Structure 1
């Protein structure tokens, strides 16, 4: 593909000259996206029995609800591919606009979801539809926002800029967790089960409009966007990344496996895991999770800056090695106390931040600019769907089968796969120009 030097230079300079604004546009929009996505996980224990028949036990209804949670993840690769192709063919901004609109629509649908008692089987069907919409959105969001953030970064600061992907993700998760904890502590159990769980989804739908307005002022980072608009024949095909960069696509899968299973276990599922396996109360589990997320968000820029100085590989290797060795003993430490849960979460998050802070940079540094968004979006989202989105379901399923001790071993085994990838296949890219 031929690009005009003037167009290429001006696009890069515009984005980097307004890097604080770029950071805000990506981060605030991403916060809203992930707030909507995570509200489902935190509130599943309350609305599970509203969406499924009363004849089902609490554990069975929760298992079904987490199965629908996983369905959303399986539409993330499609979203990553489709929205990534939009970002590569028409620019990063159009893709970011589309993803936040989809997320708001999915959140609103859950907020007004009728119960099983009122509409029968239509209730879980509508819940599946809402999660499909959100899955398409969040798959595309990671692809477009990751690319947008790293391309906006000044030289030698890609790790720092990359860290804001999970600063904003964690902030959205934190707001969702905090609001859920507040409602759980102020409303009665019956009020929370009947209508209180709907409030965060209404809030999420409103926040999507705020994020949309903020993103409108961002600068495009796709350097060849003017050429692509002028000549449609130069636009990359939807499968070009997989066709021309199969090794890099497979590498992103290997990089992501450990990160996604550790992330969704430690930041999303652990409060529910503690309730199910260690009899921690709902309110204590949500409160501990909220405090731990504050700590986790603060770690991101620190680790991002560290990676810009010493490289990406040392952090990735340390992260994966820790979870291979420490997952089983850490999860065995859980008991009925909130303080023990908080300790386990915070220890794990120190090492998890070594991955999350640089995931965007590592992925962007692996795939060339022409197909970067789709090239990241599909393999990353596929890995998350297979190994991250299924984590709550697998943990709950192991419990239902009486194999509770198998879940921590399952996590360690997946982390071992990525550890081997980090050691033998990942090249150091921190001090190299973007491909």
Structure 2
């Protein structure tokens, strides 16, 4: 790599003071969230083996998912959207980070499953609801700070770090989960292993608050928001204004976000949680998944940097089209029993296309809304899609497989999501063109 490129790829001191606290804070937050997703699934299975009927256990698990997704994330987005657009992006972001540690601390001292039986799942749903609320404010806050804290020429690159902390959190949780499941018996996991993981999460969270306190001193409020304050242009009713003036645009971005969310939960989560689809055992699946996460996490900002001069719509169209083609190949690979190396090769290509999406989409989302309601609009658009789609994908995938008796049918969600993405992208670009011509 030429020295000049190395210099420009390297973050400046100002950029580092912005990216570092956001990345590390996001890592701590999503570390706890991914632990929650994993253990709620384990408890659902335990409910089944403890005598609950399959339909009842599935219903309870569905409620847990909906609590976390459909309700809590949008609610959190509205709450922190109000804080972010009225009192500052930094304020909303910091509070979202602090609040997510509370459910993990409570779960550390919670009764075990055999003690509470049915009630433990309801209790877990309440904790998941409480945890989903601050998660709904973290990503919009991080994106607003990254977008508004960067120069015009560096925005795509800096915004590509949005999912960097998210992925690091998933990597950390996967390492802890893999260690626990391989060195503890099933009885130990259900007795105290799950509590230990939340205890570690709480310790990390508290330690993180202390460490981040110093970093947050260097994290300044965005100049764009400060300008709104100086000019007395702060929006007092951001939610009302957002729906009044930007309802159509928010709706388009809501459906646009479905592709990113579907790819994340299907490829990054559901597929590797069911390793038999790929002809892998659990250990092979965990190791492969971890390698993928590390490599592609490092790749996201690289793509964000080297595509800075490319047209946004061209990159997004190309990657979405690539997802359509490769997901069809993956379906055929699973259904026809192709060799596992072909499965992994196709998944690698799909994940490369999603890396482009994860690199480009954040800055595209942020630049599409004005500063005075940016936090609220991002929070609504992304959280509704992430909450609802992320909540139903495991259930929908299981249902599709059961009804069609085809193991690879759940992959159909990807090309459908990509087609929706391409349609909404066309509408958004047409709207932009109309606005620019007036």
Deviates more, 1:70-79 or 1:322-331: 322-331
- Which residue is 2:386 aligned to? 384
Match of 1:351 in 2: 353
1:88 to 85, 89, 100: 85
Corresponding residue pairs, total: 414
**Corresponding position of 1:10:** none
Q: Return the alpha-carbon distance in structure 2 between the equivalents of residues 236 and 360 of structure 1.
A: 24
The aligned counterpart of 1:414 is: 417
The C-alpha deviation readout for 1:297-344, integer Å capped at 9, x for no partner, is 011012211331213222211221122222132144356987666444
Q: How does 1:20-169 map to 2 (within 5 A)?
A: 20-50=16-46, 54-56=50-52, 61=57, 64-65=60-61, 67-74=63-70, 75-169=72-166
Query: Could you report, residue by residue, the CA deviation over 1:177-218 in whole angstroms, capped at 9, with x for unpaired residues?
Result: 121112222223332343323333222222323443415321
Once the two structures are TM-superposed, the CA of residue 354 in structure 1 deviates from its matched residue by 0.8
Give TM-score, length-normalised by structure 1: 0.85
Secondary structure in 1 aligned to 2:379?
helix
Deviates more, 1:347-356 or 1:187-196: 187-196
Q: Distance in 2 between matches of 1:222 and 1:368?
A: 14
Larger mean CA deviation between 408-417 and 333-342 belongs to 333-342
> 1:347 Cα deviation (Å)?
2.4
Deviation above 6 Å: which 4+ runs of structure 1? 57-60, 229-233, 335-338
Tell me how far 1:375 sits from its aligned partner: 1.0
| 1:289 corresponds to | 289
Task: Write out per-residue CA displacement over residues 326-383 of structure 1, whole angstroms, 9 at most, x where no aligned residue.
Answer: 2132144356987666444422211101111122211111000001001110121111
1:170 paired residue among 153, 167, 171: 167
Where does the alignment leave 5 or more consecutive residues of structure 1 unmatched? 1-15, 430-435
User: Distance in 2 between the 1:412 and 1:381 partners?
Assistant: 21
Partner of 1:312: 312
> CA RMSD for the aligned pairs?
3.0
- Matched residue, 1:374: 376
Q: CA deviation at 1:23?
A: 0.7
Give the Å deviation of 1:421. Answer: 2.2
Could you tell me how far 1:31 is from its partner in structure 2? 1.0
1:11 alignment counterpart: none
Give the Cα separation in 2 of the matches to 1:178 and 1:63: 30
Q: Secondary structure at the match of 2:51?
A: coil
Deviation for aligned residue 1:272: 1.7
Aligned twin of 1:241: 242
Pick from 177, 180, 202: which aligns with 2:177? Answer: 180
| Worse overlay, 189-198 or 92-101 | 189-198
Q: Is the 8 A contact 1:180 1:286 kept in 2?
A: no
CA-to-partner distance for each residue in 1:229-276, whole Å, 9 max, x for gaps?
Answer: 99798534332212122232123113212111112111122212334x
Q: Which shifted more, 215-224 or 362-371?
A: 215-224
Output the TM-score relative to the length of structure 2.
Answer: 0.85
Structure 2 gaps of 5+ residues are 1-11, 433-438
Which whole-Å CA distance do the structure 2 matches of 1:94 and 1:101 have between them?
11
- SS of the residue corresponding to residue 308 of structure 1 reads coil
Segment of structure 1 superposing worse, 129-138 or 240-249: 240-249
Q: Which whole-Å CA distance do the structure 2 matches of 1:342 and 1:60 have between them?
A: 35
Which of the two has greater helix per residue?
A: 2
Structure 2: how far apart are the matches of 1:200 and 1:167? 22
On the 8 A contact 1:79/1:140 being kept in 2, the answer is yes
Match of residue 433 from structure 1: none
